[in-house]
């Protein structure tokens, strides 16, 4: 591995934070957006709104601090107006920043790892439990990750009561829209007959860790063979033979994601939480795909 190239890619991530490329054609873009618009005109372009969103999410800025940031930026670049915090919120939430817009082009088949992780609902606090006697809730993010590039090829946001196996069909379907999937690595939470049948129907080779109480006389042939191999060779050797270590690509993606943004969401309701996490995944894919 050329560590100089790795260093340069990480350094360029910092350049991205202050990239003002959206200023090129700013006035023209704004005039096009306001052409024929009824009522209040747009004050800022979508490019500027994306820039503000990236700063907000990467630095976990409350909207009032975002307003202060735009005031300071306006003093440096006078053509950029300061943005009221409520206006900034509306513009950021209406952006369509889905993770797949920043995917790298790829024609060949890929191998994915599927997993989920929890995210705290930052704004709820302990008052939910004190007032209603309920356990504090959290949300789950489900990723399908390209094990080679670490890109998020598919993502779902659910409440904490959604089981991983319930989300698997939509995750695999979404990932298949962006890549040709030939193999998928998953942990024991996905070890079910339905999961094996789904993957076989979609032409995906399943590498799923069997549960501890798994039997060799039930399920599809792929599952029975996997269980037999595990019981014969032991867990460590089974992992080596099956290449199960590649599943850690999903863990690596979650670790990077949470180092960037923390382990919580700043939004209050489920719709805005999903939008926020999707936008963060868009930025994540954009950062890891910076070319040298």
pLDDT tens digit string along 150-183?
Answer: 999 999 999 888 889 999 999 999 999 989 999 9
pLDDT band at 292 (very low <50, low <70, confident <90, very high): very low
Residue 236 three-state SS: helix
- Which pLDDT tens digit goes with each residue over 20-32? 778 888 888 888 8
- Which pLDDT tens digit goes with each residue over 114-133? 999 988 875 554 544 554 45
pLDDT of 9 reads 65
Mean per-residue pLDDT for 246-266?
90
What is the rounded CA–CA span in Å between residue 111 and residue 179?
9
CA atoms within a 13 Å half-sphere pointing along the CA-CB vector of 249: 23
| Mean pLDDT (the chain, rounded) | 85
Q: Which residues contact 161 (CB under 8 A, 6 or more apart)?
A: none
How does DSSP assign 89-133, residue by residue? HHHHHH----GGGGPPP--SEEEEEEEEEEEEETTTTTHHHHHH-
What kind of architecture, by CATH, is found in domain 100-288? 2-Layer Sandwich (3.30)
pTM for the structure as a whole:
0.84
Q: Give phi and psi for 196, each to the nearest 5.
A: -65, -45
CA atoms within a 13 Å half-sphere pointing along the CA-CB vector of 42: 21
- Whether residue 188 contacts residue 166, with contact meaning beta carbons closer than 8 Å, is answered with no
What sign for the dihedral angle of Cα 104, 109, 113, 117?
positive
Mean per-residue pLDDT for 96-108?
81
Residues of the chain with CATH 3.30.420: 100-288
Q: Give phi and psi for 16, each to the nearest 5.
A: -60, -35
| 41: exposed, middle or buried (Cβ count in 10 Å: 0-12, 13-18, 19+) | exposed
- Which pLDDT tens digit goes with each residue over 152-161? 999 999 988 8
Mean per-residue pLDDT for 210-226?
85
């Amino acid at each position: 591995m050329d560590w100089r190239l790795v260093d340069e890619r990480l350094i360029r991530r910092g350049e991205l934070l202050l990239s003002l490329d959206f200023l090129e054609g700013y006035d023209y873009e704004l005039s096009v957006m306001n052409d024929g618009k009824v009522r209040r005109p747009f004050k800022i372009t979508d490019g500027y709104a994306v820039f503000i969103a990236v700063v907000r999410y990467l630095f976990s800025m409350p909207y009032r601090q975002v307003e202060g940031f735009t005031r300071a930026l306006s003093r440096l670049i006078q053509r950029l107006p300061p943005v009221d915090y409520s206006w900034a919120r509306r513009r950021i939430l209406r952006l369509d920043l889905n993770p797949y817009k920043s995917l790298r082009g790829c024609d060949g088949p890929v191998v994915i790892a599927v997993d989920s992780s929890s995210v705290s609902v930052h704004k709820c606090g302990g008052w939910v439990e004190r007032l209603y006697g309920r356990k504090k809730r959290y949300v789950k993010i489900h990723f399908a990750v390209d094990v080679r590039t670490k890109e998020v090829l598919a993502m779902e946001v659910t409440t904490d009561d959604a089981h991983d196996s319930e989300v698997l069909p939509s995750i695999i379907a979404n990932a298949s829209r962006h890549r040709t999937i030939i193999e998928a690595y998953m942990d024991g939470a996905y070890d079910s007959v339905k999961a094996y049948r789904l993957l076989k129907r979609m032409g995906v080779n399943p590498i799923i860790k069997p549960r501890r109480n798994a039997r060799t006389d039930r399920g599809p042939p792929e599952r029975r063979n996997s269980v037999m191999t595990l019981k014969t060779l032991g867990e460590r050797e089974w992992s080596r033979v099956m290449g199960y270590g590649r599943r850690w690509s999903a863990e690596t993606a979650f670790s990077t994601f949470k180092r960037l943004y923390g382990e919580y969401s700043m939004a209050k309701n489920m719709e805005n939480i999903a939008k926020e996490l999707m936008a963060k995944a868009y930025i994540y894919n954009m950062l890891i795909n910076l070319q040298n």
